[in-house]
Amino acid sequence: MSQSNEIILKVNDLKMYFPVTRGLLRKKVAEIKAVDGVSFELKKGETLGLVGESGCGKTTVGRCVSRLYQPTGGEIIFEGEDIAALPEKDLKRIRRKVSLIFQDPYSSLDPRQSAGSIVGEPLIVHKITKDKIDYHRRVETLFQLVGLDPALMNRYPHEFSGGQRQRIGIARSLASNPSLIICDEPVSALDVSIQAQIINLLLDLKEAGETELTYIFIAHDLSVVKHISDRVAVMYLGRIVELTTPQELYENPLHPYTQALLSAVPVPDPEIEEKRERIILEGEVPSPLNPPSGCALHQRCPIAKPECREVIPPLSDRGGGHLVACIRA
Amino acid sequence: MPEAKVIVAKEADVEPRINEWKRFCRVFLARKIIWLALFVIALLLFTAVFGPWLAPYKPNEQNLADSMAPPSRKHLLGTDRLGIDTFSRLIYGARTALIVGVATSFTSAIVGTLLGMVAGFMGGVVNTVIMRFMDALMGFPMIVLALLLAGVLGSGMLNIIIALTVANVPGYTRLMCGMTLSVKENDYIMAQRSIGSSSFRILAKHIFPNTLQPMVVMLTTSLGGIILAEASLSFLGIGIVPPDVAWGSMVADGYKYLQTNPILSFAPGICIMLVVFSFNIIGDGLRDALDPRLRGTL
Amino acid sequence: MERLLEVKDLKTYFNTDDGLLKAVDGVSFYVDEQEIIGVVGESGCGKTVTQLSVMQLIARPGKIVGGEVIFEGRDILKYKPHGEEMRAIRGGKIAMIFQEPMTSLNPVLTLNQQLSESLMLHLKMNKEDARKRAIELLRLVGIPSPEARIDDYPHQFSGGMRQRVMIAMGLSCNPKILIADEPTTALDVTTQAQLLELMTEMVERFRSSLIIVTHNLGVVARYAKRIYIMYAGKIVEEGTCKEIFKHPRHPYTIGLLNSVPRLDTVGKRLVPIEGLPPNLTNMPDYCAFLPRCPYKTEKCRTSPMPDLRDVPGEGHRVRCYVDIAEVDNVTVK
């Protein structure tokens, strides 16, 4: 996979707290710490997987990076510029460079818009095309790029299947020639046999594009993330707990949560399954409204010690860029 | 742009185009009663437009010699105390009903849509202010509010339209605010924001078209209600005033002679009933035909 | 030996606007005592409708138009859907757990009311005994402090906890068979693992059989003894779990296995199944998988839908004319 050493995105101590308000005057009564100190770097052309269970903050990270949310704190340095606090009016040029692919192919396309006009929308918003003919040609190329017949441009979303709709969404995300695409669970709503088509398409687009594409791939399915990513970050309750290459993650998971997550995903081979060790975590993910003290996992962790309750473990390098946030590992 | 890849989805692979319009018509026209309602409304439209050519007499043409004439060839539905032809008055009354109904419902729809969309889209304080005010207006029954306003403004067609519009705006605002709030939650609005669309573009191009269906339904159903309200105001004598003719005032005029000449009140009364009933039926039918959850059940 | 449940040539059709939809078209399978089987397929393949038909829970415009469901030696399809006998089986001897726990629990009744109801109905318990038993069940499925929580309403529980309650409800009357329809799909990965572990542990304890209906090949590989692969309303391949994962013989099964990313492999390009699942109305006479099949031959095009035929391996049957094992040898050389 082509990958330069140029850093395209550097996220530093990102924090996103959502206020919980009550009453007519919207008094703030609590805070949901959806993301609480997330840092990572992304090289140009790289794919970073963000994996975790619902409520771990992976989607929020994606929405902060694309500046759909205004982060509470931290830096988001995209192509050398800190965009974390950029005001709304300066965001348009960032929106052109960072695009999103959504999870639900049904609700992410406007039902009253034709497929062609959905895909062409960014071209109009950013005034990319010179004239009608240029616009039409661009949309046509985008359709072909994602494997759709340009003859389908006048059709409406409900006429397409889930996989085809997701292709329309991908074409839209490519229209403005972005350098970073945030894929938020792009395959989890699709049927098994269609998922592979979309995963391959995303991989192919990376090699085909004129500008080098960088992906942040958000998913709860570890096997999909592992398949598509160059590096994987495992998130738990608003923090990254482990970050390394997929190979290393599978062969040498250090964080107890990663180990449990890996063991929870069954392999479609009964003979391997018979031999696999199963680590079942007790209980459920605590609420981010009231997170546990110290390491967020300590109540469920099989190897927790009393000090885990007090110290928030920092993300530290255990060699070869394998980062882990655990004082016991 | 790189070279085209393998085309996965060809035109032929995609399900044949579903003709939404045909489907809509099939569900909408499936009920017999819809045809009757459509016929009544068509008749109303026709008489309203061509009234002056259809009516055998002028609506205020007195002929005291023919006072209180029973139905005859000369006067199809007889005449009132001043010898004015009831049938002709009915025809001119259709005009008034339609003008008041359409003008009121469209103005209130436009005002309500704007207010509702702004309240729903901006949220926060703007929403609170607009919606609490609408709630206050809604606290009054529509007819009471209209009565109050008509009393202040005085009677006459324009004032009636203004009064009824104010009374109708809260309903539209509430509908559109709710619709905007629910449409806003869809990922495609988030997607539009992520590609850099302006708020105005999102509102106009993506939220508004997706709120149209319930809007159309409400527009139709409320037409019936407005016509009824106009008739009630006219009946009470603070609505349409002569020389304009209204069914409501005709009922009021005629009801003194209910014993001797019931047709004077019954004819306009039946007209009001049929029209209101028809608009409601069509509104219900539209809702069923437009609601995807009910589609295909008929 | 007599089977616990044997479904023979089951057919369930739906009368839709667009024509007759053959959701389940001649499905046969069986379950033995204390056995775990898996029914695998994608959405719309008929796997759920098959199970609902067994329970006679098909609503209009659907209709069971043929077949037999032999349970404990009697054809339960002959019973009236709402009759006394069927009600005794449903929830009593065969229980079902649905994908969406929130919609299958009644929001306005407490857990005690819901759990006790079926205990009093099927096991003729009195109120106090039913309550005791219900607390016992909740404890078994891992609800913390069940005595305190039994009078709570469903919305006071998290998704995982609600699914635990569903398992408790399913098992409340010692059913012979528990049908779990995508029981964990809506839940998080680690919760999924917890619940599947719990469910298999429970059926072992209660000596029940378990039918896992899922699209996840990994889940059946981990838990099921035998599996059925469904496509377009028909079973296309069946056999023991080990046999099918080791020697898959239907192009669809092979396609599924090649198209899912696996945790234990790295860098292998996925081979997707091209095209889309067919529209179940207006099905062709020939094999339903043909348009997407990489192994298709002239014979497939001209012959009717193939029947399930025996192939080497214990109980292994496949609905395909082509002997993939041989084709593979040719192409791989």
How large is the average pLDDT for residues C164-168?
Answer: 85
pLDDT (0 to 100) of residue C231: 92
Domain positions in chain B are 31-59+83-290
Question: Does the pLDDT of residue B55 top 50, yes or no?
Answer: yes
pLDDT (0 to 100) of residue C332: 30
How large is the average pLDDT for residues A244-272?
Answer: 89
Taking contacts as CB-CB distances below 8 angstroms, the residues of chain B near A109 are 188, 191
pTM, rounded to two decimals:
0.83
Long-range contacts of A271-279 (CB under 8 A, 24+ apart): A271/C242, A271/C245, A271/C246, A272/C264, A273/C218, A273/C221, A273/C222, A278/C193, A278/C197
pLDDT (0 to 100) of residue A12: 92
Cβ contact B15–C274 (<8 Å): no
Q: What residues does A232 pair with on adjacent strands?
A: A49, A244
Banded model confidence at residue B7, pLDDT cuts 50, 70, 90: low
Lowest-confidence range among A109-118, B51-60, C220-229?
Answer: B51-60
Question: Does the pLDDT of residue C330 top 60, yes or no?
Answer: no
Q: How many residues comprise chain B?
A: 298
* Complex-level ipTM: 0.82
Banded model confidence at residue A61, pLDDT cuts 50, 70, 90: very high
Cβ contact B7–A107 (<8 Å): no
Banded model confidence at residue C333, pLDDT cuts 50, 70, 90: very low
Instruction: Give the integer Cα–Cα distance in Å for A232 and A50.
Output: 6
Banded model confidence at residue C213, pLDDT cuts 50, 70, 90: very high
Question: Does the pLDDT of residue A313 top 50, yes or no?
Answer: yes
Question: DSSP string spanning C119-139?
Answer: HHHHS---HHHHHHHHHHHHH
Six-digit token string for B217: 């339904």
Banded model confidence at residue B297, pLDDT cuts 50, 70, 90: very low
Nearest to B153 by CA among C41, B252, A74, B161: B161
Neighbors of chain A with 3 or more C-beta pairs under 8 Å: B, C
Residues C204 and C71 reside in one and the same domain: yes
Residue B186 CA: distances (Å) to CA of B148, B183, B191, B295: 41, 6, 9, 22
B31-59+83-290 falls under which CATH superfamily? Answer: MetI-like (1.10.3720.10)
Share of chain A above pLDDT 70, in %: 97
pLDDT (0 to 100) of residue C329: 43
Amino acid at residue number C146: P
Interface of A with B in 44-73 (CB under 8 A): 66, 68
CB of C198 within 8 Å of a chain A CB? The answer is no
Cβ count near B123 (within 10 Å): 14
Q: Is B288 within 8 Å of B220 (Cβ atoms)?
A: no
Long-range contacts of C101-104 (CB under 8 A, 24+ apart): C101/C154, C101/C159, C101/C162, C101/C163, C101/C165, C101/C166, C101/C186, C102/C154, C102/C155, C102/C159, C102/C162, C104/C166
Q: Quick check: helix, strand or coil at residue B117?
A: helix
How large is the average pLDDT for residues C90-96?
Answer: 86
**Distance in Å, alpha carbon of C219 to nearest chain A alpha carbon:** 6
Cβ contact C16–B296 (<8 Å): yes
Cβ count near A192 (within 10 Å): 20
Residues C207 and C281 reside in one and the same domain: no
Residues C190 and C87 reside in one and the same domain: yes
**Distance in Å, alpha carbon of A316 to nearest chain B alpha carbon:** 33
**Distance in Å, alpha carbon of B20 to nearest chain A alpha carbon:** 11
Banded model confidence at residue B294, pLDDT cuts 50, 70, 90: very low
Q: Quick check: helix, strand or coil at residue A244?
A: strand
Q: What is the mean pLDDT of chain B?
A: 81
CB of A221 within 8 Å of a chain C CB? The answer is yes
pLDDT (0 to 100) of residue A1: 46
CB of A21 within 8 Å of a chain C CB? The answer is no
When CB atoms are compared, the residue of A200, A247, A265 closest to C218 is: A265
Question: Does the pLDDT of residue A103 top 70, yes or no?
Answer: yes
CB of B8 within 8 Å of a chain C CB? The answer is yes
Best residue in B186, B189, B195 for a mutation probing chain A (most A CBs within 10 Å) = B195
When CB atoms are compared, the residue of C194, C242, C259 closest to A271 is: C242
CB of A191 within 8 Å of a chain C CB? The answer is yes
Question: Does the pLDDT of residue C162 top 50, yes or no?
Answer: yes
Taking contacts as CB-CB distances below 8 angstroms, the residues of chain A near B190 are 68, 100, 102, 108
Backbone angles phi, psi at B46, to 5 degrees: -60, -50
Residue A120 CA: distances (Å) to CA of A138, A146, A212, B5, C15: 8, 14, 21, 19, 39
Question: Does the pLDDT of residue A291 top 70, yes or no?
Answer: yes
Q: Is B137 within 8 Å of B194 (Cβ atoms)?
A: no
Six-digit token string for B287: 């809702």
Residues C128 and C56 reside in one and the same domain: yes
pLDDT (0 to 100) of residue B244: 77
| Residue indicated by tokens 């005057």 | A25
Taking contacts as CB-CB distances below 8 angstroms, the residues of chain C near B7 are none
List strand residue ranges (DSSP E) for A97-213, in order.
Answer: 98-101, 180-184
pLDDT (0 to 100) of residue B296: 41
Q: Quick check: helix, strand or coil at residue B273?
A: helix
Instruction: Give the integer Cα–Cα distance in Å for A170 and A205.
Output: 10
Residues C132 and C206 reside in one and the same domain: yes
Residue C104 CA: distances (Å) to CA of A162, C84, C130, C212, C216: 26, 22, 21, 18, 22
Residues C135 and C202 reside in one and the same domain: yes
Cβ count near C22 (within 10 Å): 21
pLDDT (0 to 100) of residue A24: 65
Instruction: Give the integer Cα–Cα distance in Å for C168 and C165.
Output: 5
Q: Is C316 within 8 Å of C325 (Cβ atoms)?
A: no
pLDDT (0 to 100) of residue B1: 39
Best residue in A90, A138, A143, A149 for a mutation probing chain B (most B CBs within 10 Å) = A149
Torsion-angle region of C73 (φ positive above 0: left; ψ -120 to 50: alpha; else: beta): left
Out of C191, C224, C257, pick the residue that ends a domain.
C224
Question: Does the pLDDT of residue B242 top 60, yes or no?
Answer: yes
Best residue in A56, A106, A188, A192 for a mutation probing chain C (most C CBs within 10 Å) = A192
Neighbors of chain B with 3 or more C-beta pairs under 8 Å: A, C
Q: What is the DSSP letter of A94?
A: H
Banded model confidence at residue A167, pLDDT cuts 50, 70, 90: very high
pLDDT digits (tens, 9 = 90+) for A177-211: 899 999 998 988 888 888 888 999 999 888 876 66
Cβ contact C266–A268 (<8 Å): no
Domain that holds residue C18: 5-224
Nearest to B194 by CA among A66, C33, A316: A66
Class of domain A7-324: alpha beta
Best residue in C189, C225, C273 for a mutation probing chain A (most A CBs within 10 Å) = C189
pLDDT (0 to 100) of residue C230: 94
Instruction: Give the integer Cα–Cα distance in Å for C240 and B5.
Output: 40
pLDDT digits (tens, 9 = 90+) for C319-329: 998 887 665 54
Out of C170, C201, C224, pick the residue that ends a domain.
C224
How large is the average pLDDT for residues A135-154?
Answer: 90
Interface of A with B in 133-162 (CB under 8 A): 138, 141-142, 144-149, 151-152, 155, 158-161
Q: Is C256 within 8 Å of A193 (Cβ atoms)?
A: yes
How large is the average pLDDT for residues B108-123?
Answer: 91
Question: DSSP string spanning C25-93?
Answer: EEEEEEE-TT-EEEEE--TTSSHHHHHHHHTT-PPTTEEEEEEEEEETTEEGGGS-TTSHHHHHHBTTT
Banded model confidence at residue C1, pLDDT cuts 50, 70, 90: low
Residues C283 and C182 reside in one and the same domain: no
How large is the average pLDDT for residues C120-126?
Answer: 84
Strands C234-240 and C36-40, by their bridges, are: unpaired
Banded model confidence at residue C12, pLDDT cuts 50, 70, 90: very high
Best residue in B129, B187, B293 for a mutation probing chain A (most A CBs within 10 Å) = B187
Question: Does the pLDDT of residue B5 top 60, yes or no?
Answer: no
Question: Does the pLDDT of residue A88 top 90, yes or no?
Answer: no
Instruction: Give the integer Cα–Cα distance in Å for B83 and B62.
Output: 5
Closest residue in chain C to residue B10, using alpha carbons only: C275
Q: What is the mean pLDDT of chain C?
A: 85
Best residue in B7, B8, B23, B26 for a mutation probing chain C (most C CBs within 10 Å) = B8
Taking contacts as CB-CB distances below 8 angstroms, the residues of chain A near C277 are 191, 193
pLDDT digits (tens, 9 = 90+) for B14-47: 655 556 777 778 878 888 888 988 998 898 888 8
pLDDT (0 to 100) of residue C331: 38
Six-digit token string for B244: 């304009």
Nearest to B31 by CA among B290, B235, B281: B281
Nearest to C236 by CA among C51, C25, C12: C25
Question: Does the pLDDT of residue B120 top 80, yes or no?
Answer: yes
pLDDT (0 to 100) of residue B3: 41
Lowest-confidence range among B141-145, B157-161, C220-224?
Answer: B141-145
Closest residue in chain C to residue B12, using alpha carbons only: C275
List strand residue ranges (DSSP E) for chain C, in order.
Answer: 5-16, 19-31, 36-40, 62-71, 74-75, 94-97, 177-181, 209-214, 226-231, 234-240, 309-310, 317-318
Question: Does the pLDDT of residue B292 top 70, yes or no?
Answer: no
CB of C217 within 8 Å of a chain A CB? The answer is yes
Six-digit token string for B249: 């005032």
**Distance in Å, alpha carbon of B220 to nearest chain A alpha carbon:** 22
Lowest-confidence range among B265-279, C89-103, C125-139?
Answer: C89-103
Cβ count near C211 (within 10 Å): 25
Give the residue numbers in B contacting A (CB under 8 Å), as ranges: 1-11, 14-15, 17-18, 124, 128, 186-188, 190-198, 201, 206, 209-210
pLDDT (0 to 100) of residue A85: 87
Share of chain A above pLDDT 90, in %: 37
pLDDT (0 to 100) of residue A232: 94
Neighbors of chain C with 3 or more C-beta pairs under 8 Å: A, B
Highest mean pLDDT among B147-156, B258-267, C77-86: C77-86
Closest residue in chain C to residue B23, using alpha carbons only: C17
Interface of B with C in 13-32 (CB under 8 A): 13, 15
List strand residue ranges (DSSP E) for B130-235, in order.
Answer: none
Q: Is B212 within 8 Å of B194 (Cβ atoms)?
A: no
Cβ contact C279–B13 (<8 Å): no
Torsion-angle region of C9 (φ positive above 0: left; ψ -120 to 50: alpha; else: beta): left
Nearest to A287 by CA among A18, A12, A14: A18
pLDDT digits (tens, 9 = 90+) for C249-308: 999 999 998 888 888 877 678 888 888 788 787 788 888 898 888 888 888 888 888 888
Residues C159 and C285 reside in one and the same domain: no
How large is the average pLDDT for residues B194-211?
Answer: 89
pLDDT digits (tens, 9 = 90+) for A38-52: 999 999 989 999 998
Cβ count near B209 (within 10 Å): 14
Residues C160 and C266 reside in one and the same domain: no
